[in-house]
Structures are given as structure tokens and as C-alpha cells.
A and B are shown apart, each in its own frame.
Chain A
Amino acid sequence: MNIWVKRVYAALVFAFLYLPLVVIAVYSFNASKYSLAWKGFTLHWYGQLLKNNTLVDAAFRSMTIAVVSATVSCVIGTLAAFMLHQYRFRGRRAVFASIFVMMMSPDIVIGISLLVLFLGVGLSLGFWTLLMGHVTLCVPFVTATVYARFKGFDPTVVEAARDLGAAEYQVFRRIVLPMAAPGLIAGWLLSFTLSLDDVIVSFFTTGPTYEVLPLRIYSMVRLGIKPDVNALSVLMIIITVAAVLLSRRLLKEKS
């Protein structure tokens, strides 16, 4: 392929991926309310956004659930990765396979099966069920990220600690955790963005008492585009991109 053909092709694909994001950003600073025509720069919509309590509340709830579920997922996922890396037990391969299957499972199947569980047990849908939903979604990804980090370790360090008389918990706390720290933080940020990004699992696992941002936007979009939603989208894009850049930085330290 000619170098220019390649460049133009790549540029077109990037244009396709970025055009909608750029349009949203432009709209959010455009003084004109509905049309694309540029009527001058304004921060008015950002001001409007702050006055829109339902939207700000929903954004705040999304952030809360993302932080809490990322933290819980990180604990469970790290322990799972530690278990898979350090211990030999029956059914280890089955655990590997299940984690992979959970990672591949379509979101809607995860959401629906959890809904059936919650209905069956008689839990009312809200913060706690949403948290369980997001944790279920995120744990396999944390496990995979942290496990990859563990695999890069020198196993003799752990053996040396054991030979010197460290108990299992001490090995985990003093040796493994500090070495895995960048992987842990990357896993945390990954879960954080997965949770912020999720629409489908949230749709089935949360109730009217705890409406998160994507669901709020979902019900608003049917009523047409609102400029303050553009402003909010721009803020959310900035937050997720920052989280991703940070996690990549931390993962890069490894190599």
C-alpha cells in the first residue's frame, strides 16, 4: 500500500472515532442552543449544568458507585489473582476458565442473571444491588490485570520470604502487595472506568432510588439534546481519559 493511502485511511478511521466527541465538545461551548452554527464561545451551559440538580446528583452517584465498586473489586480481584498465582489446588483450571467466561459474558446476560438472583432472594434494587452488579462486572478484569503483573515477578523472592519464616499473610502483605502495587492501581482505574462506562448492568441492577448518570442521560435523550448534557459529557470524557492515561503510565513502569 502506498504510504499516503495508508495515512489517509488511518486518518479517516480516526475522524470517524473522534468526530462525535469533537461535535459534543463544540456544542458545549456554543452560544447557540440547538443549531450547529457557531454563535460565539460561552460557558453558559456549564453554569446551567451546575443548576441541574438531577443531573449533578446522578453524576455524583455514578462517581460514588465507581469509587466504591473499584475498591471492592480491587480487593477481591487481587486476592483471586494471588490465589491463582501462589496456590495449587483442585479445580484451579476451572477457576481460570470461569474468570475468562465471566469476562467474556455479554453485559446483558450478567445484568439479567443478577436481576433474577436479586428478585429470587427478595432484595430491593438500589445502591447495594448496583454495587454487587458492578463488582461482578469488574472483578475478572482486575484479576487478569493483577495476575499479569504477578507473572512478571521473581518467584524466588516469595520463596525466600517463606524460608525466612514469614507467614502466608506476611508474605502477601509485605512482599506481594508492594510488588504488585502498580498493577493494583491500574486494576482499580480499569474498574473505575468500567463502572462509569456501564449502561447495561446498571440498567438491570439499580432501582429508582439510585439512578446513575448513564441511565439519567438515557431517559433525557428521548426528549432531545440538551446543551447542559453536552457540557456534562465533556467533563465525563475528561475524567475517564485522565483515569486511562494514569493507568497506562502505571502499567508502563513495569516494562
Chain B
Amino acid sequence: MKDSLFKRLVVTGVLGWMVLFGAVPTLMLLAVSFLKRDPDSLIEPALSLASYRELLQPALGSMLAESMIMAATATLLCLLIGYPFAYIVARADRRYTRTLLLLVMIPFWTNTLIRTYALVAVLKADGVVNTFLLFLGVIDAPLKLMYTPAAVFIGLVYTLLPFMILPLYAAIEKLDLKLLEASRDLGASRFSTFRKITVPLTMPGIVSGCMLVFLPALGMFYIPDILGGARTMLLGNYIRDQFLAARNIPLGAAASIAMTVIMGLMLALYYKSVRRAGRKVRI
């Protein structure tokens, strides 16, 4: 049967849209990352690996590593705070789960820039935290919280925590309680049940939560800008500066490609963990 006009229109339209705004920009970014920088016209049409070489140089490499460590630390903090919380919500009385989840979602839906800005009001010298601690008499002079790396971590965790909690909740909620009971019946301690049963079975949730936190954490350049000192930098700040301040577009493009590669690796890890968890359930 010949395809109808409607079907052809839909398929061409959607695929065309995806190629134009998905594939083409990505390929262009990839192409630009292999070009040379030109001080006047920004890009010189000559193939070069200069940007990638520069990316691997010690000075830049350590900046990249620092930014990855920052994002990874924020991710780990989110996991440590989020896992027990997701567990509590998933095991709470059915009547309250929906409301609790909704309460997690609401801040996640409000503008992240407005929330970052709100954090300033909490962390500044005469902000809530300092006023409260002074009132309690814990400290005599206001703590310097703003413009420190700690403020950046607080900002990242605050903004990204819901991205960690929601996939963890979904994974923990699916957990078959019979498996945990069986493990206890067979004499495993609470801790080894958690380590050998709960963690592997909720691994897809852990990995997808980490992915949803780690990738944006690398890119949220406005959080170090607003909360951090001049020195704190994420990969996102670096990419933005290459494009807008240093005008080194090939280098900025190469850094973005590096970020895409990180995403690819994390997606691969995610699929692996889903498959492994699936296999373990069947056994």
C-alpha cells in the first residue's frame, strides 16, 4: 500500500526537524572543534587538532579535572542526601507518597536562577543562616559563606537534589520486598542485605540520578558566577568564556564535545546497569 500524504508529511516533517536541530548543529560543533582559531574572522577553515591538544595540556587539564571533581562531589552529596530521603518517601504510607513527591517537585519546577538568587538571601552576611547562628550564640561574627566554594556546592546540591531523588524513588519503589525478607531470613545482616540486594537492584536509579545531576552540574555556569568566588569554575563557565570572552570558538567547541563524550559514557554505563539489574532480578 502506498503511504498516504499525511504519513509522508509527518515523517518528513519530524525527521527533517530532528536533522536540522539535532544532527546538523552537533555535526557543526564537531566540525568546528577540528578547525583552527583565527583572531579576526574567529574561525580559519583549516583542519587542526590544536583545540584537543590544548584541552589535554596540564594547565587546562587540571582545570577540567577540578571542574569534574566539583561536579562529582556535588553528585556524591546529592546521592548521600537523596538516597535515604528517597527510601523514606518510597516506604512511607501510600496516602502521603503523592504529596511528598509533589513537594519535591515544586522547587524543581521553579526557575533555577530565581532559586540561586534566593540562596544569596540565605547565605549572605546578614542572611538567614548567619542571623540564626548569631541568635543562637554559636558564632560571634557572621561567617563568610558567599563567594566561597562551599556556596557553590550548596547551590549545586540545592538545585540538583530533586533530579537525584526522583529516579532513586522510582527504583526503590519497584524493589521487591520479598527479596529483602528472604535475605534477612537467610541470615544476612541489615548492612549486607543493603549492600548485596538493595544497592545492586536500585543501581539503575543510582546511575540515572547521578547522570541527571553530574551533567548539569558541569554546565551550570551561573551558579559559580552568582555564589562562588572569582576562581571557582565549572566546565560550563569555561565553555561560555571561550565562546563569549576569549573568542576561541574551536576550543569552546572541543570542550563541548568533551562534555558530549562524557554524556555518552554515562549513557553506556546506565544501559549496562539496567541490563545487569534486570538479570539479577530474574535469577
Interface residues of A (CB under 8 A from B): 1, 6, 9-10, 13-14, 16-21, 23-24, 27, 34-36, 76, 79-80, 82-83, 87, 89, 95, 98-99, 101-102, 104-109, 112-117, 120, 132, 135-136, 139, 167-169, 172, 193, 196-197, 199-200, 203-204, 213-214, 217-218, 221-222, 225, 229-230, 233, 236-237, 240-241, 243-244, 248
Contact = CB atoms under 8 A, between A and B. Distances in A.
Contacts of A87: 7, 10-11
Interface stretch (B61-69, B109-117, B173-181, B275-283): B109-117
Nearest to B223: A199
A120 B43 CA distance: 11
Interface in B215-254: 215-216, 218-222, 225-226, 236, 239-240, 243, 249, 252-253
B218 A106 contact: yes
Interface string B14-57: 11011001111110110010000000000000000000000000
12 contacts: A16-B161, A17-B104, A36-B131, A101-B267, A102-B22, A105-B260, A109-B259, A112-B252, A116-B29, A204-B240, A241-B110, A244-B105
Contacts of A168: 4-7
Contacts of A20: 115, 118-119, 121-122, 158
B256 A109 contact: yes
Contacts of B221: 108, 200
A170 B85 CA distance: 48
B11 A18 contact: no
Question: Which of B18, B221, B249 has the most CB atoms of chain A within a 10 A radius of its CB?
Answer: B18
Nearest to A80: B14
A233 B243 contact: no
A88 to B, nearest CB: 11
A58 B118 CA distance: 19
A225 to B, nearest CB: 6
Interface of B: 4-7, 10-11, 13-15, 17-18, 21-26, 28-29, 32, 81, 84-85, 88-89, 100, 102-107, 109-115, 117-122, 124, 126-128, 131, 158, 161-162, 211, 215-216, 218-222, 225-226, 236, 239-240, 243, 249, 252-253, 256, 259-260, 263, 267
Contacts of B23: 98
A196 B112 CA distance: 10
Contacts of B107: 17-18, 21
A244 B107 CA distance: 11
Given A20-B121, A36-B131, A104-B211, 19 more contacts: A6-B88, A9-B84, A13-B85, A14-B103, A16-B161, A19-B122, A21-B110, A35-B126, A79-B14, A95-B15, A102-B18, A105-B263, A108-B256, A112-B252, A116-B249, A168-B7, A193-B109, A214-B114, A240-B110
B168 to A, nearest CB: 12
Nearest to B154: A16
B126 A9 contact: no
4 A-B pairs closest in CB distance: A20-B118, A113-B25, A108-B219, A168-B6
Contacts of B21: 114, 117, 132, 135-136
A217 B7 CA distance: 45
A106 B259 contact: yes
A57 B217 CA distance: 30
Contacts of B85: 9-10, 13
Contacts of A102: 18, 22
A79 B81 CA distance: 40
A110 B158 CA distance: 23
Contacts of A136: 21-22
Contact of A120 (B28, B88, B215): B28
Given A168-B4, A221-B120, A112 B243 contact: yes
